[in-house]
Structure 1
Amino acid sequence: MTRTTLVTGGSGFIGQYLVSELVTRGRKVRVLDVRAPSRSSPAVEFVEGSVLDTARVNDAVAGADEIYHLAGLPGMWKLDRAEFHDVNFIGTRNVLAAARQRCEVPFLHCSTESILFHAPQPGDVAAEEATLSVDDMPGPYTRSKMLADELALQAAASGFPVIVGCPTMPIGPHDHNVTPPTAMLQYFLGGGSLQLYLDFMVNFVDVRDVAKGLVLAMEKGRVGHRYVLGGESLPLSRVLALMATVSGRRRLLMRVPGCIAELSARFMELKADHVTGRAPSATVEGVRIARRATALSVEKARCELGYAPRPVEPLLQEIIAHMLGVSPSEVLEHA
């Protein structure tokens, strides 16, 4: 019989690729989201609703054979910061509670790399195994995601089959909502001749690889374990050099210290909070995450799941071509 898979947040950037991957594998997919999917399919059932609506969540969970929980509030800024806690933590609690009423339904919780960065620990502890708390988080977004992560792992420890996938910075075409990694690439691609930047370790990954990685984690992952689903870890300065080569657009780049970047972000946030009401181009939490970012290894996912992400340079060529509205071959000609 065809398995029914529930994907919360299935209309989002990662979600749409996960849904496509599941349909390709012959699954009947049910999407719970506040927005309808951008592409329709007879194999996809759309349930409009929020993870904060417990009745809607219970309806969506009913009859599901497995659950991928992706619904969340990304980004680092909201006029009401409490929205992060509501959607990311309380929403996760609602979906987990509904799922646990169905006993042994496999559950994949989609977390984030942002909660994994840590100072070196004795024995070279892998990012997935690091012991961090909510108090270690640099802002409301990461606190809400850490609380949700803890909730998922507590459920696993009590015997519920939960596995956690931690995507790094997914990029790819059709990012209609402009997630933070895409916004960063757009900023550096479309900026002026002089661009200021904070150099930090970034880990871009093809969103299609993340979707496959989530399925692999559900199928092969160990209950109660985290898996980093990323690509190559590179300094941002290296990424900007690649972008310049691939796009043919040269910029004068000026590196700024972390303390200056954080101070600038604070002023941008104040303006957003009290004047414009629009998301700033940088946030204090975002800068703090960048300053603590370290290289993340996908070795655990590679060994245990068979996860095999693609290299970053061809991916950047594809994304830059998409942003410029040209074919990948034209981008290569400009390089």
Structure 2
Amino acid sequence: MTRILVTGGNGFIGKHLVSALVAQGRDVRVLDLQAPSRALPKVEYVKGSVLDRDLVHSVVDGVDEVYHLAGLPGMWLPRKGDFHEVNCGGTEVVIGTARKRGVKRLLHCSTESILFRASRSDERLADDALLPDDMPGPYTRSKMLAERYAMQEAASGYPVVIGCPTMPIGTHDHNFTPPTEMLRLFLNQRVQLYLDFVVNLVDVRDVAAGLILAMERGRFGHRYILGGESIALKQVLRIMSHVSGRRTPRLAMNGRLAEFTAGLLEFVADRITRRPPSGTAEGVRIARRAEALSIEKAQRELGYEPGPVEPVLRETIAHLLGSGHNQAEWEPVPSAGAQSFNTTRRFGV
């Protein structure tokens, strides 16, 4: 039986991935700083950090495959250096240890945020042309450097594949990852001030299925974008209005004004409140660069076929409005997309 380690396995994507692996009959171990919202039977949970070299050395023992999902996903921290320490440093620890311990295959989970160029004229640049200074902020810089390290390890002969989710959504996102937090903030606004940009939303269950496909079928040193549908934020807000029944006034903001305003909010958070602001300059820069992303490579090479995003978007919004408070604790439920391609039928996602 294949033994698998999932770092960050108690996070939003991680718990769906672990559920899918268990349904496939895999022997799974999870390394995470936080406890699971619902512990799955036959899963070994280890509490700890990917920065703890001795612990990582221990949990990798006897493991055949590693899914490295652990990281800091938000756009703001009191100490900006934590992004680099965890996202980049943690990746080096995990991949370096896995290689030394003879792990047969590793999947590194990246992010779409590093793929958007500052200038549209640069959009055809090769992956290795990504530069730290071209990133819109400390979070994306740390994730770009982590992916670069993973790619370098693959180039040197270690079997590493890159999975790159876009913006996963779904119910029971207890950590309020950036996509869920964005939806929550808009639901709570009396006037929706927004910067209209393209968002690529995807059912988190389809992402989990895609990560497994990338591990099984992906080519070493290649990145696979695991997304859903690219739609305008304005359309997301229309769906939100329909689901909530609220006729919330909407006001589109100029990109420069949005970035300036977010910068002020971040300044106050950094120096006064020390609490997460409702927006960051890095987040606005990502939005201003955002464009439609193609999942054609993942479809062609992996057999990845996500389902339509509107049903899960409506489900997520309804849950955030409170209709999900009386539901049972999180249970893995198949997505429409996960049922649409044969290789994931046995995954139970």
Place the TM-score, normalised by the shorter chain, in its bin: over 0.9
Aligned mates of 2:245, 2:183 — CA distance in 1: 15
Equivalences for residues 207-286 of structure 1 within 5 A: 207-286=204-283
> Would you say 1:22 and 2:21 are equivalent positions?
yes
Aligned mates of 2:126, 2:15 — CA distance in 1: 25
Q: Secondary structure at the match of 2:66?
A: strand
User: Percentage identity across aligned positions?
Assistant: 61
Contact 2:243 2:318 in 1 (8 A): no
User: Which of 129, 133, 141 in structure 1 is aligned with 2:139?
Assistant: 141
> Would you say 1:10 and 2:3 are equivalent positions?
no
Give the Å deviation of 1:129.
4.7
Aligned mates of 1:33, 1:44 — CA distance in 2: 13
- Aligned match of 1:175: 173
Aligned mates of 2:128, 2:242 — CA distance in 1: 37
- Aligned match of 1:166: 164
Aligned mates of 1:109, 1:130 — CA distance in 2: 16
Kindly tell me the number of residue pairs found equivalent between the two proteins. 323
Contact 1:104 1:160 in 2 (8 A): no
Higher relative contact order (CA 8 A, sep 6+): 2
- Aligned match of 2:293: 296
* Range that drifts further, 31-40 or 203-212: 31-40
- Aligned match of 2:55: 56
> Would you say 1:315 and 2:291 are equivalent positions?
no
Q: Cα RMSD between the aligned structures?
A: 1.5
Give the Å deviation of 1:133.
1.4
User: What is the TM-score with the length of structure 1 in the denominator?
Assistant: 0.93
- Aligned match of 2:327: none
Contact 1:73 1:84 in 2 (8 A): yes
Equivalences for residues 84-233 of structure 1 within 5 A: 84-103=83-102, 105-118=104-117, 119-120=119-120, 125=124, 129=127, 131-192=129-190, 194-233=191-230
Contact 2:258 2:284 in 1 (8 A): yes
- Aligned match of 1:330: none
Aligned mates of 2:317, 2:83 — CA distance in 1: 30
Amino acid at match of 2:116: F
Q: Secondary structure at the match of 1:325?
A: helix
Q: Secondary structure at the match of 2:323?
A: coil
Q: Secondary structure at the match of 2:141?
A: helix
Contact 2:65 2:103 in 1 (8 A): no
Give the Å deviation of 1:190.
2.1
Contact 1:269 1:284 in 2 (8 A): yes
| Structure 2 gap ranges (5+) | 325-349
Aligned mates of 1:165, 1:80 — CA distance in 2: 27
Aligned mates of 1:209, 1:63 — CA distance in 2: 28
Contact 1:204 1:232 in 2 (8 A): yes
Give the Å deviation of 1:128.
8.3
Aligned mates of 1:167, 1:241 — CA distance in 2: 24
Residues 41-98 of structure 1 deviation map (CA, whole Å, 9 limit, x = unaligned): 2321011110110001111111111000000001110000000000000000000110
Aligned mates of 1:87, 1:231 — CA distance in 2: 28
Aligned mates of 1:311, 1:129 — CA distance in 2: 28
Q: Secondary structure at the match of 1:297?
A: coil
Amino acid at match of 1:251: T
Amino acid at match of 1:3: T
Give the Å deviation of 1:103.
3.2
| Structure 1 gap ranges (5+) | 328-335
Aligned mates of 2:126, 2:240 — CA distance in 1: 30
Give the Å deviation of 1:291.
0.5
Q: Which runs of 4+ in 1 moved over 6 A?
A: none
Q: Secondary structure at the match of 1:234?
A: strand
Aligned mates of 1:226, 1:158 — CA distance in 2: 16
Contact 1:27 1:43 in 2 (8 A): no
Give the 3 Å change call, closer, same or farther, for CA 136–17 of structure 1 in structure 2. Answer: same
